[in-house]
Structure 1
Amino acid sequence: MHPRVPRPPLPPAFTRLSWSSVLTQFAEQIALVAVPLAAVLLLGADAAGTALLQVAQTLPFLLLAIPFGLLVDRSSPRRLLLLSEALRASTLVAVIVLLALDALRFESLLALGFAGAVGTMGISVAVPAAVPRTVSRDRLVDANRWLELGRSAAFIGGPAVAGAIVSLGGADTAFVVATVACLAALAVLARTDIPARVAAPRTTPWRDIGEGLRFAFSHALLRPMIVTSFVFNVGWFQLQSVFVVYALDRLGMTPATVGAAMAVYGGGMVIGALLAPVLSRRFALGALTMLGPLGGFAAALLMAATLWVPAPAFAFAAYLLFGLGPVLWTIGTTSLRQAVTPVSMIGRVSSVLVVATYGARPVGAALGAVVAAGVGVEACIVLCAGVFAAQLGYVLLSALRRVREIPADPADAAVEATPPDESAGGRTAPSARGSASE
């Protein structure tokens, strides 16, 4: 038996891109903790105020993601990355200056939070578009695994560091640390060479946006990614909206154990990213992606089991699976999306996924609030399991499950969108030709 030959390192351009992404995610996680803490501790904001901050920090993803995707396709991911990171850094600097002058007001914090979220959204759209420009098609899974590993580490370390900094040095110190991380990311990006695509004839913006939407929703592999991501996040944020109350009242958990359960979610993300290379060698790409929806459904069943057996251990196990499964899904589907989407359209297609993911958050939270208020928290837990069953059932019936590996043909030459009525009846979609089983 021959020993497995180690794969060569990823290109320096991607290495710099991934480090800038880690620094960006770290800064974002610190800011997401520091902003509401500053609002409450320094400005006396109530629950309605912190909820309004959450709206301001998510609204850009719904309003501007698709136009930003068009900007990526028409110009350069590098340019958008630099501008977005600079915008994030400038908003953090503005908060620091206002704090130093004792001039920070809730309205200014709200406006700066919205502006900073515009930068975060730009990065979320531009990074997936930049990856296939910096690595070869056969290394997409490796590249996205490293990005997810960095994101997972930021999700674990960022909030913990932010809480400690606010406790020891105050909210202004947390903003300083976030700004330093943001500026470091900007410096790394400035040294990152991301090839720009060859300029193509332009049409009207609306026509280009419509082209991207039609491609994404008619494609036999992209459509299930969009729908599954939306439904998964509806179920996830429905659970998130009621879990703290449910855990304290029904499971007898303390605030400390509730926080520990949520931290296990980040641990699951790290485990998933570390297991991805082993699992990708043992499973076909489609089967690997199915572990995400399957893990979400198994986690929802574990949470539902606490209705009969109110054991905190079930909640801990559920949060572990909620973290582990989606990372495997993200690594697999992001790599496949980058491979089957023409380079000239990848920004717009990535933006559709951003809208589906972030647009599901207020829908899920609102659904949880309505059901919990009208029927009870227990009914919300049961409905959550139903939502996760729906996303699993849908994706198992899609062409995504049958994909074996990243298609070998160049995306621009080999990919064709498949209308929904042509992918039924057991036919293999043209977009999966050569990579899906019959």
Structure 2
Amino acid sequence: MDPRPLSPAAPLSPAAPLSPAFRRLARSNLAAQSAEQLALAAVPLTAVLALGGGTGTTGALAFVQTLPFLLLALPMGLLADRVDRRRLMASAEWVRAAALLAIPVAAWFGWLSVPLLALLGCIAAIGTLAFTVTAPALVPALVDRPLLAAANGRLELARSLAYAGGPALAGALVAWAGAPVAFAVAAVLSAWAALLLTGIPEPARAAPGARRPLAEIAEGAAFVWRHPWLRPIVATAIGWNIAWFVLQAAYVPYAVDLLGLTAAGIGMTLAAYGIGMVAGAVLAPMIAGRLPIGRMIAVGPLVSVAAAACMLASLRWPQPVLAGASMFLFGAGPILWTIGQVTLRQAATPPALLGRVSALMTMATFGARPLGAAIGGLAGVAWGPGACVVLAAAGFVIQAATILLSAVPRVRTLPEPADAALQPVRA
């Protein structure tokens, strides 16, 4: 498939004001992301402190919470292309709020157990999945095409702030008032996100044709596979996540055994990752105004190579500052990648396929994570955590080469709208 013609009249514009409808979506996104990060941090704390779980328990809980992304991403994308997107997200947020609220209720009556915590955590993850898949499909209907990068940057900034502050808030709430209060706060945030979504107008779309779910999913997959921009974007995302989770699987043993860090020191290096995410999201509008969209997308994978180089250098010079710098760069670079590739994906995909394409990207990304973790675990057992650092660095070089050798870095402006009849909402 040839890309659509480029329009020199459609530059990225980070400065123009965004519509009230989008600003409402952004506030909802901040509440939803905060609820997610708060709950993700509170679940293992509850398992260990209240239920006596160990490493195996927390690992199993983390696995169960990823299952919706692997099993339900494609059905969620199909729904996003067929039903009212804001109602789909709002419904999923109400489900998440109910699941999160059920945890303190179960704890109050003495019913809470690890299996029940796992089940409720899995149900709550459906809200995260709905936002991850559906929000990128809704944004093009709420903002003009030249403002897509600015809009996506606003959403990523909210995610970065939630990622940086959510675990700390969860820890403080658990220490101050107990885990049930942390889940109750997360439930309130999720309900607030749902209420904000109900006030967003969405333009009417053409009624879907005959329902053929498998054929429609295959249509979305074929579109991605044949597209000269989307195919390398998906491949790069898979490569990055495999390499990142190879590193994540071995980072704590590596930091303790080779860098000599304490728990507090490891926490500081991991905090640098969240700080990097916030920094990348803050700088993204300025970078979007100065670089062509294709080069902005390529920056993220290149920064990840620099981050891997810092971690590799710590093998030779075991200094915590190198690990902290690496984590900061790993946080900052992928934010630029995410904003850029989501913007290009939104502009290059016909509106009728946005949900399915977003779902395929989500499933590929999350599907790569357990594979990377398994590779990292096996390599760490066989050769030690240092070998995982080397293996991850090789993976980051491969993912950067994948995008740099594709047509993506040569894209200078966004493609023409896939459907000129679809006008953004101004309300």
Whether contact under 8 Å (1:26, 1:181) holds in the other structure is yes
Question: Is 1:92 aligned to residue 100 of structure 2?
Answer: yes
1:264-303 paired onto structure 2 within 5 Å: 264-303=272-311
Does residue 230 of the first structure (1) align with residue 238 of the second (2)?
yes
Larger mean Cα displacement after TM superposition, 180-189 or 313-322: 180-189
Deviation at 1:356, TM superposition (A): 1.4
TM-score, scaled relative to structure 1:
0.91
Residue deviations 1:226-268 (CA, integer Å, cap 9, x gap): 0100100111111111101101110111111111111111111
Give me the whole-angstrom Cα distance separating, in 2, the residues matched to 1:412 and 1:391: 32
Percent of matched pairs sharing the same residue: 48
Instruction: Answer yes or no: is 1:410 the counterpart of 2:404.
Output: no
Give deviations 1:282-310, integer Å, cap 9, x for gaps: 21111111110001111111101111111
Higher RCO, 1 or 2 (CA under 8 Å, sep at least 6)? Answer: 2
Whole-angstrom distance in 2 between the partners of 1:306 and 1:7: 40
Question: Could you tell me whether the CA contact under 8 Å between 1:212 and 1:345 is conserved in 2?
Answer: yes
Equivalent residue number for residue 432 of structure 1: none
Q: SS of 2:135's equivalent?
A: helix
Count of residues in correspondence between the two structures: 409
Flag as ranges the 4+ runs of structure 1 deviating above 2 A. 5-8
Q: Does residue 1:318 correspond to 2:326, yes or no?
A: yes
Partner of 1:181: 189
CA contact (8 A) 1:75 1:196 kept: no
Give me the CA root mean square deviation.
1.4
**Is this contact kept in 1: 2:31–2:189, CA < 8 A?**
yes
For structure 1, the 5+ residue unaligned runs are 415-438
- Aligned residue in 2 for 1:395: 403
Give 1:113's aligned residue: 121
* Residue 54 of structure 1: how far off its partner (Å): 0.6
Summarize deviations over 1:386-429 as a string: whole Å, max 9, x none.
Answer: 0001001111110111010112x221479xxxxxxxxxxxxxxx
Shift in CA distance, 332/161, structure 1 to aligned 2, threshold 3 Å: same
Q: CA deviation at 1:203?
A: 4.1
Separation in 2, partners of 1:386, 1:6:
34
Shift of 1:281: 2.1
> Which of 363, 366, 385 is the equivalent residue of 2:393?
385
State the match for 2:21 in structure 1: 13
1:24 matches 2:52: no
* Partner SS for 1:307: helix
Q: CA deviation at 1:14?
A: 0.6
- Consecutive unaligned residues in structure 2, runs of 5 or more: 1-12, 422-427
State the shift of 1:196 in Å.
Answer: 3.7
Task: Return the letter of the residue paired with 1:81.
Answer: M
The secondary structure found in structure 2 opposite 1:74 is: coil
Give the secondary structure class of the aligned counterpart of 2:243. helix
Tell me which residue corresponds to 1:59: 67
Aligned equivalents of 2:295, 2:217: Cα separation in 1: 32
Residue 330 of structure 1 aligns with which residue? 338
Distance 1:281 1:135 in 2: 17
| Paired AA for residue 388 in structure 1 | F
How far 1:200 sits from its partner (Å)? 3.1
In 1: Cα distance, 2:79 partner to 2:367 partner: 20
**Whole-angstrom distance in 2 between the partners of 1:334 and 1:410:** 15
After superposition, the C-alpha distances for 1:4-53 in whole angstroms (9 at most, x for unaligned) are x9944211111011110110110111101111111111111222111110
Alignment of 1:194-209 (within 5 A): 194-209=202-217
1:222, 1:202 → 2: CA distance? 27
Q: 1:348 aligns with which of 346, 350, 356?
A: 356
- Indicate the residue corresponding to 1:157 in structure 2: 165
Matching residue within 118, 122, 131 for 2:130: 122
Residue type matched to 2:219 in 1?
E
State the distance in 1 between where 2:39 and 2:420 align. 42
Q: Which residue of 2 aligns with 1:45?
A: 53
SS of 1:104's equivalent?
A: coil
State the TM-score, normalizing by the size of structure 2. 0.94
The question of whether the paired residues in 2 share the 8 Å contact of 1:238 and 1:367 is answered with yes
Inter-partner Cα distance in structure 1 for 2:398 and 2:291? 23
Deviation per residue, 1:181-231 (Å, 9 max, x gap): 111111111212222422132341110010000001111010011010010
Alignment-mate amino acid for residue 411 of structure 1: A
Report the Cα distance in structure 1 between the residues aligned to 2:309 and 2:248, rounded to whole angstroms: 15
Deviates more, 1:278-287 or 1:66-75: 278-287
- Sort the Cα spacing of 1:183 and 1:203 in 2 relative to 1 into closer, same or farther, 3 A: closer
Residue 139 of structure 1 and its aligned partner are, at CA, apart by: 0.7
